[in-house]
Amino acid sequence: MNAAPRPIRKLLVANRGEIALRVLRAAHEAGIRTVAVYSDADRVELHVRAAHEAVRLGPPPPRDSYLHVDALIAAAKATGADAVHPGYGFVSENATFREACDAAGLVFVGPPASAMRRMGDKVSARRTAEGAGVPVVPGAEIPDPTDGPAVVAAARRVGFPLLVKAARGGGGKGIRRVEREADLAEACKRAASEAKTSFGSEVVYLERYVERPRHVEVQVIVDDHGHAVAVGERECSVQRRHQKVIEETPSPVVDDALRAKVCAAGVAVARAVGYRNAGTVELLVGADRSFYFMEMNNRLQVEHPITELRYGVDLVAEQLRVAQGLPLSFGDRAPAPRGHAIEARLCAEDPANGFLPSTGRVTALQLPGGPGVRIDGHLYVGQEITLFYDPMLAKIVVHADTRAAAIARMRRALHETRVGGLTTNVPLLLDVLDDPRFVAGDYDTSLLSGYAPRDPAAPAAHLEGADGEDLAPVVAAALAAHRRTPTTSVPAAAAGPSEPAWVREGRRSLGEWPR
């Protein structure tokens, strides 16, 4: 405790895209010089241009670039960097990389390797949470996923339905739901295979499936001065295949009493594992408001901006403070929260075509603005979107005084969003915002189960003007004119009750208007 300050003079950001840009901005505001790294596919990306220096890592595949530990350490040494921020993904939860930074004398902006190892293995993490008095979902370890009788015996103890989950890693990979015993062996095989491919380990475990769960997470941050603080909770239940789509804070299901309990649980887990810096304790909340520890992410979360907007903090700046041995700027208590914040992940994928990734060049770009709107992204006209990396293009984040106002603001922001040359998931995001369950706050992780986009080619209804005239010729003329101009996946402006019927119908017919 009370470690001597260790000023960071030059920071290497071991990541790419929007999170690299986010970290670079915080470092610049703190007066820290910066180093970007890049693969051959990213040599002209915005994070490369934003840093004071940039170092090539290698070819586009992550294993040859952003996952290449030796290349990252070499880049830091070559540029004289004295610290490394890993962002999220890639090496952010890699204890071996953390140890390599320690050995090289580099300050790592994140937790110690010991905490990363204990919480990076979900079986060990469950034991730690239990030891801290935090409830966990009933489960069982599977030392050998090919040992059929042992797996079946463990599954019978856990009960069906259950999840087969990778013991290491995250991001929704290596997870299979199993409804009956007959499907267990195949699910274990597939989960183990995916876990080995994604995380280098085929170890899996079983966990009882919680019916109608809500995915709620607690933002924690711990310094060397005895401060372990929970900066509220986030609702992350809007998911597709275990990948988060929309997040919000506060959670609609968490009242003050439950908030106190889940935040105390998050701090208890962080203290039990000897955590330092920012991390997230993820929980499942049942329909009866009972909650269970699920895992801890040993890094900054993708959705951290909504916490920043609601609590008025800069979590990356706080990470840098902690890494330098300084106390949290807000001491032992989070700032008072204000209003409601929502984040939507803008992705290059086609909801109408099985969510296939969309690749190509960005030919036009319009991102939303106005009061209470924040964009964390790395898009620019002429950018080439490839299959090498995650399809997330940007995070659209809004803040307003109330949840209803935040939903309206997000809907408006999405209607302003245009990304020419790519297909995006904006129609899906608008569908979620219009879903009565989401609007009411009464939803869980099954919200998008069986999601099917509305058919933009559905026949149009007969249109009549105010005095009964046929508007079909007007619509046809409008469509013809519209097709002579570049189109994108969403309209440039939000529709409202005063918008002419022929405009609304033209947009529907082109598949641009979800409602």
Active-site positions read: 299
Please report the sign of the dihedral spanned by the C-alpha atoms of residue 254, residue 257, residue 261, residue 266. Answer: positive
Which helix (H) or strand (E) segment is 149 a member of?
helix 148-158
Q: Taking Cα atoms as reference points, which of 237, 260, 264 lies closest to residue 248?
A: 237
Please report the sign of the dihedral spanned by the C-alpha atoms of residue 254, residue 448, residue 168, residue 21. Answer: negative
Inter-axis angle of helices 472-483 and 501-509, nearest 10:
50
Which helix (H) or strand (E) segment is 392 a member of?
strand 392-400
Backbone angles phi, psi at 512, to 5 degrees: -90, -15
Q: Taking Cα atoms as reference points, which of 156, 210, 167, 299 lies closest to residue 175?
A: 167
User: What's the CA gap between 109 and 498, in Å, rounded?
Assistant: 51
Looking at the DSSP bridge assignments, the partners of residue 35 are 12, 53
* Residue whose pair of structure tokens reads 């295949």 in the numeric block: 241
What is the SS3 assignment for 221? strand
Measured CA distances, 410 to 62, 124, 318, 343 (Å)? 33, 39, 27, 8
Per the omega criterion (within 30 degrees of 0), is the bond before 453 cis? no
Q: Taking Cα atoms as reference points, which of 77, 80, 78 lies closest to residue 103?
A: 77
Q: Taking Cα atoms as reference points, which of 375, 413, 418 lies closest to residue 394?
A: 375
